Amino acid sequence: NDPNRLEIKENFDKKLRSHRPPGPAVQHLHYDTQTAEADAVADIISKRVEAGAYRYRDFAILVRGNRDADAYLTSLRMRDIPYQFSGSRGLYRRQEVRLLISLLQVLFDVDSSEHLYNLLSSEVYNFPMADLNRLLARAYRLNVSLYEVLSDPEVFAEEGETRPLSPEAQATREKVLEDLRYLVEFSRQRPAGMVLYEFLERTGYLARLARGEASEAETKIQNLARFFDIVRAFSNTAPDDQVPHLVRYLDLLIEAGDDPPTAPLEPGLDAVNVLTVHKAKGLEFPVVFMVGLVKDKFPSRRRSDPLELPDALVREEVPSGDIHLQEERRLFYVGMTRAQQELYLTSADDYGGKRTRKVSPFVLEALDRREADITPRKSDPIEVIRRHRTGRGVATPALEKIPESQPLQLSHMQVDDYLTCPLKYKYIHILRVPLRPHHTIIYGKAIHEAIQEYNRRRQAGLPVSYEDLLARFEGAWRNEGFLSREHEEQRLQTGRESLRRFYEREQASDAVPAFVEQEFAFWQGKNKITGRWDRVDERDGQVVIIDYKSSEVRDQKKADDRARNSRQLAIYAIAYERLYGRWPDLLELHFVDTGIVDRTEPRPRKIEKTLEEIEQAARGIREREFSPTPSEWDCRYCPYNRICPATETQV
């Protein structure tokens, strides 16, 4: 279709040749309505899985845009088919993210009835809908906000009303008002991210998601984590990161058209994959449904650029013809070639609106058919009614095991987390459950960045002053997670003093780093172990690996024990030997606050044990074995001890 293609100009043969035997022909299914189309796709998937031909994860539904996915997600839910949706946009429209945005809006302006309604009707509060609608109707009649009606203890006791709120609604009403009063006061001197986390924890919503008690729990957690990343980015740059300022920031982002992508697909999840064609690039699935294939959807309507670039300013030769149509055709080709075994092209006459939609010209081109040859499949009236039945609820799909043939990448932190508690590993590295900011993390990160600045300059032979370290330390500082303003000032002062002592010690030394923040990777079987050394020195022919710690250790014996038993240092030693063919001579832990330094040598028994532990963690992760292993000590210091069911009797 395009004479400017390289294979035409240079006579290249780009014909695709499959290594698999021939499969079934491409099928085009055309229906009278989009609902019928979506239901048919769900039915095909359900029957193929029930017959044992495929698993849910083998299917992909490709949509042209994020908003096009709604009908197909609804049909999957109605049939209790597990799915995961990943769009190139749409994070702010996700139910769990809208919940947090509504909370922020209500804390900023309690008279925002729309957002309060969203909050009350959410799965967090589940306010009885009959009572909620009565409250909203009363607010409309009185021309007041929903909050004003909700906070009136005598609601429905006037104007001849004989039906009070139900007991469930009264109890929920009191809970909501109590939570809002508490959170408004809680937000007085705290960052917005901390307020959001307090809400998730106080209401038990995060715990329910972590236990998988809500529909699409794992996907919701990942989308919440993405939203918290946005909040954290705001906190890192805004001079004031309290609730009112975050609300204004989000309003401006949304007004400007910002709409971040939802959580990416989890490859090991046994669920139908629903994603946009753009997000499908580079992926393959045994069975692919390309849906909504009608004119003006795919190809989409051409939108003219706000600022057209004159042809004279374009360095490359502009292809002749309709460039937009050519791009859409290439995208259609991308979608078709995602299928490994079976490909379905689906369309419908009615997607809402008055006019009947025409089948995409790309479908006609691909199948060499005419529009007149296509007749829609009519919906049975009984089936139309049954489409509105309620599903039992989509269960959280199980993670598929990772085969031994597939490489698995692990860091020392992942190995540590898994061996400490497999469920902790799942919360951190698979579900990515958001964490409340903790002052030890803020402090440690700021100290580490200051030391990194010193070591990099020392390695490059550049001058470095204590003021340089202090500027980097204070620039990396975040006022999150501290117990009070006084506590924060105390930790700031401790950091300044610790860095001064560090600077004086290092300036008195002749040692120059050979490596600073050097990344490494080595293979242990099919497991790729990755990490980075804080610092590596070469002193008089000896190799010394240094790791800095910001935790307070004042006892030399305790420091000695930590170094000798450190799995992290053992992994660092193994990495050096694998990469450079020799063992490091010394492994050192430098405790920055106290100045204590502990030195140990790579010991064969510790190295052997560490390799066994890597294999043990890798086996469990591959088997998707995430049962908790609670202990009083580990649970006490676990960041998830307030949401993990296994710690309820341990902490």
Dihedral of alpha carbons 34, 40, 41, 42, sign: positive
Domains parsed from the chain with CATH numbers: 17-89+265-301+320-386 (3.40.50.300), 91-255 (1.10.486.10), 439-622 (3.90.320.10)
Return d(Cα 566, Cα 354) in angstroms, integer.
Answer: 70
Return d(Cα 596, Cα 175) in angstroms, integer.
Answer: 51
Cβ-contact 505, 595 below 8 angstroms: yes
User: In 145-295, which ranges are continuous DSSP H helix?
Assistant: 146-150, 167-186, 192-202, 205-210, 217-237, 243-255
pLDDT of residue 622: 92
Residue 616 pLDDT greater than 70, yes or no? yes
Share of the chain above pLDDT 90, in %: 45
Segment 334-345 mean pLDDT:
94
Q: What is the 3-state secondary structure of 67-136?
A: HHHHHHHHHHHHCCCCEEEECCCEHHHCHHHHHHHHHHHHHHCCCCHHHHHHHHHCCCCCCCHHHHHHHH
SS3 587: strand
> For the segment 36-88, what is each residue's pLDDT rounded down to a tens digit?
999 999 999 999 999 999 999 999 999 988 888 888 988 888 888 888 887 76
Cβ-contact 194, 373 below 8 angstroms: no
The secondary structure of residue 15, as a DSSP letter, is -
pLDDT of residue 649: 45
Burial of 323 (0-12, 13-18, 19+ CB in 10 A): exposed
What is the distance between the terminal CA atoms of the chain, rounded to a whole angstrom? 68
The structure's pTM equals 0.67
Q: Which two tokens stand for residue 123?
A: 């799965």
Residue 37 CB: number of other CB atoms within 10 A? 30
Return d(Cα 295, Cα 174) in angstroms, integer.
Answer: 52
Q: What is the 3-state secondary structure of 148-166?
A: HHHCCCCCCCCCCCCCCCC
Strand pairing category for 408-411 and 83-86: unpaired
Return d(Cα 457, Cα 466) in angstroms, integer.
Answer: 12
Longest dimension (CA), the chain: 94
The CA dihedral of 389, 392, 394, 400, to the nearest 10 degrees, is: -130
Amino acid symbol at 233: A
pLDDT of residue 401: 85
Cβ-contact 454, 507 below 8 angstroms: no
Tell me the sheet residues that pair with 516. Answer: 535
Cβ-contact 618, 527 below 8 angstroms: yes
Q: Which two tokens stand for residue 129?
A: 């809908």
Q: Which residue has 């009136």 as its token pair?
A: 152
Q: Which two tokens stand for residue 553?
A: 């250790």
Query: Which residues, at least 6 apart from 206, have a Cβ–Cβ distance to it below 8 Å?
Result: 197, 200, 221, 224, 433, 434, 643
> For the segment 275-308, what is each residue's pLDDT rounded down to a tens digit?
999 889 889 999 999 999 998 888 887 665 555 6
SS3 189: coil
- Which residue, among 267, 297, 226, 271, has the nearest Cα to 66 in the 3D structure? 297
SS3 173: helix
Least confident of 187-201, 235-249, 255-269: 255-269
Angle at 8 between CA 6 and CA 10, to 5 degrees: 60
Residue 537 pLDDT greater than 60, yes or no? yes
Average pLDDT of every residue of the chain: 85
Segment 238-267 mean pLDDT:
84
SS3 489: helix
Residue 427 pLDDT greater than 50, yes or no? yes
The continuous run of DSSP H or E covering 534 comes out as: strand 527-539
SS3 545: strand
Segment 137-142 mean pLDDT:
87
pLDDT of residue 650: 43
> For the segment 382-423, what is each residue's pLDDT rounded down to a tens digit?
555 555 555 555 555 667 788 888 899 999 999 999 999 999
Residue 6 pLDDT greater than 80, yes or no? no
Return d(Cα 221, Cα 541) in angstroms, integer.
Answer: 50
Amino acid symbol at 307: L
Return d(Cα 224, Cα 193) in angstroms, integer.
Answer: 12
Distance of alpha carbon 347 from the chain centroid: 32
Q: Which residue has 């995602």 as its token pair?
A: 338
Residue 169 pLDDT greater than 50, yes or no? yes
Segment 251-263 mean pLDDT:
82
pLDDT of residue 279: 87
Which DSSP string do the residues of 31-80 spell out, in sequence order? EEEHHHHHHHHHHHHHHHHHTTS--GGGEEEEESSGGGGHHHHHHHHHTT
Return d(Cα 218, Cα 197) in angstroms, integer.
Answer: 17
Return d(Cα 424, Cα 628) in angstroms, integer.
Answer: 7
Return d(Cα 322, Cα 301) in angstroms, integer.
Answer: 12
Interhelix angle for 34-50 vs 70-78, to 10°? 50
The secondary structure of residue 93, as a DSSP letter, is G
Q: Which two tokens stand for residue 255?
A: 């007004």
126 against 314, higher pLDDT: 126
563 against 600, higher pLDDT: 600
